[in-house]
Amino acid sequence: MLNYTIRRLMFTVPVLLFISFIIFLLLDLAPNDPTGNLPMTIPPEVRQQIRESLGLDQPIWVRYLLWCKQFFINEPLNIIEQWFGIQIGDGDRLRVRSWATRSPVVDLIVERLPQTLWVVGMSYVVGILIAIPIGVVSAYRQYSWFDQIGTFISMVGFSVPTFFTGVLMIVIFSVWLGWFPSIYDTTLVVEDWASFMQQVRQMAMPVFVLALFNAAQISRFMRASMLDNLNQDYVRTARAKGLKERTVLLVHVLRNSLIPVVTVIALNVPQVFGGAIITEQVFKVNGLGQLLIIGIQGADIPLVQTLTFIFAVLIVLFNLIADILYGILDPRIRYD
């Protein structure tokens, strides 16, 4: 297993480089333009000069290599300098800069991480925590009223998009009842009970909306997988052996049913960092998802390139973790 992991990790480097090039190519090909959202009063010649000042007149490979240098050499050096307080070279390195804000992309990402991790991360945790028991019980008591209601809610939760549920929540809980704020305050610092409650109130709605969506998806896979395993011979054997029903269910069946669920969760973890574009937009959370969508709309290539590349790293990493988990959950799976 260790061997396998090391081999995979080594293979990851060229794969990620290739992915980064494909992303760059894609962003370059995309027809949106950084001057597209400027007011009409800015004349075409000035727009052309703006594009040139962003370096858009240079060939694509020059820009790609520049990005590689900035991202793979300059940024890590910069982080090392900041962490250890030392000076490497003259310290005057070009960092990856967003075109819209003209500030280093990495700083923007660091600024946005807290709210995204809080809101989106929490919603995944909540989603998983409610989805797994629901999936297990629905499968064990298939076609009971619990199962039927669970199916109904999760299907509605999945098929009604968050742009709708989010606005519905705001209308009910912010406008009519006035319980929760409709706009997330990213500058809030939790330092005492009152500000903690404030944080809880402003997180309540986005977390609920996202958790519903995630729980719907995960509980379906959990239920299906449990159903598959409940009829297997080994379950009958375990029961025949006189094991307690509880042990049969939670140790034998659950463990064997987790493979598809682990896949779904592993696929979703990078999305925690990717933020939830629509939910963040609806509740004005302004996390990484909102940063990405603004970047894409404004054709902010350095920003989008850096963000998507970081997601790519996370995706590759978590898929590797999922593969390793398969091996742990089912020792028969061997990769060597």
Partner 1 sequence: MKYRSILAAAALALASAPMAQAGRGDAGNLNIIYWQAASILNPYLSGGTKDIDASALILEPLARYDENGNMVPWLAEEIPTVANGGVSEDLTTITWKLKEGIKWSDGTDLTADDVVFTANYCMAPDGGCQGLAAFADVANVEALDPLTVKITFDKPKPFPYGPFVGATTPIIQRAQFENCVGAKAPECTEQNFNPVGTGPFRVVEFRANDVITMEANPNYRDPDKPHFATLTFKGGGDAAAAARAVLETGEFDYAWNLQIDPAILSQMAKGGKGTVISAFGTAVERLMVNLTNPDPALGEKRSTLEGGPHPFLTDPAVRRALSLAIDRNLLAEVGYGAAGQATCNVVPAPAIYVSTANDECLVQDIAKANAILDEAGWLPGPDGIRQKDGVRLSILYQTSTNAVRQDTQALIKQWWSEIGVETELKNIDAAVFFGGDQSSPDTFQKFYADIEMYTNLFDGTDPETYMKSWTCEEIPSPANNWLGSNMPRYCNPEYDALWAKLAATGPLEERAEIVKQLNDMLVQDGAMIPLIHRGRVSAHANSLTGVKLNTWDSEMWNVADWDRQ
Partner 2 sequence: MTDATVQDARQSRAGRSQWADVWDQFKTHRGALLGMGFFIFISLLVIFGPWLWDIPPNYIDIRAKNQGPSLAHPMGTDQLGRDTFAQVLAGGRVSLLVGVTAMALSLVLGTLVGVLAGYFKRLDGPLMRLTDLFLALPLLPLLLVIIMLFRDTLRAAFGPETGIFILIVFVIGITSWMQTARIVRGDVLSLKEQEFVLAARSIGTPSHRMILRHILPNVLSPIMVSATLGIANAIITESALSFLGLGFPSDFPTWGRLLFDSTNFMTLNPERVIWPGLAISLTVLSVNYIGDGLRDALDPRIRGR
Look at the block and give the residue holding tokens 């250890």.
84
In the complex with partner 2, which residue's Cβ is closer, 32 or 247? 32
User: Which range binds partner 1 by CB under 8 A, 126-134, 135-143, 296-304, 316-324?
Assistant: 296-304
Q: Residue 102, interface with partner 1 (CB under 8 A)? A: yes
127 phi, psi to nearest 5 deg: -60, -50
For residues 55 and 60, what is the distance between their CA atoms, to the nearest angstrom?
10
For residues 88 and 110, what is the distance between their CA atoms, to the nearest angstrom?
22
- Give the pair of three-digit tokens for residue 236: 């009958």
Q: How far is the CB of 117 from partner 1 (least distance, A)?
A: 15
The continuous run of DSSP H or E covering 75 comes out as helix 75-84
Among 263, 284, 321, 324, binds partner 2 (CB under 8 A): 263
Q: How far is the CB of 336 from partner 1 (least distance, A)?
A: 47
Q: Residue 50, interface with partner 2 (CB under 8 A)? A: no
Reduced to 3 states, what is the DSSP secondary structure of residue 275? coil
Among 63, 97, 220, 252, binds partner 2 (CB under 8 A): 220
Return the residues of window 126-185 that contact partner 2 according to CB under 8 A: 143, 148, 151-152, 155-156, 158-161, 163-164, 167-168, 171, 175
- Give the pair of three-digit tokens for residue 122: 């929490």
DSSP letters spanning 85-144:
T---TTS--PPPB-TTT-SBHHHHHHHHHHHHIIIIIHHHHHHHHHHHHHHHHHHHTTTS
For residues 295 and 185, what is the distance between their CA atoms, to the nearest angstrom?
21
Return the residues of window 144-203 that contact partner 1 according to CB under 8 A: 170, 174-175, 178, 181-183, 185-187
Q: Residue 100, interface with partner 2 (CB under 8 A)? A: no
103 binds, among partner 1, partner 2, none (CB under 5 to 8 A by kind): partner 1
DSSP letters spanning 133-173:
HHHHHHHHTTTSHHHHHHHHHHHHHHHS-HHHHHHHHIIII
Among 27, 108, 132, 226, binds partner 1 (CB under 8 A): 108
In the complex with partner 2, which residue's Cβ is closer, 285 or 296? 296
In the complex with partner 2, which residue's Cβ is closer, 104 or 289? 289
Closest listed residue to residue 288, CA positions, set 310, 267, 268? 310
Among 32, 58, 195, 232, binds partner 1 (CB under 8 A): 32
Q: Which residues bind partner 1 (CB under 8 A)?
A: 29, 31-54, 97-98, 100-104, 107-108, 111-112, 170, 174-175, 178, 181-183, 185-187, 281-286, 290-291, 294, 297-299
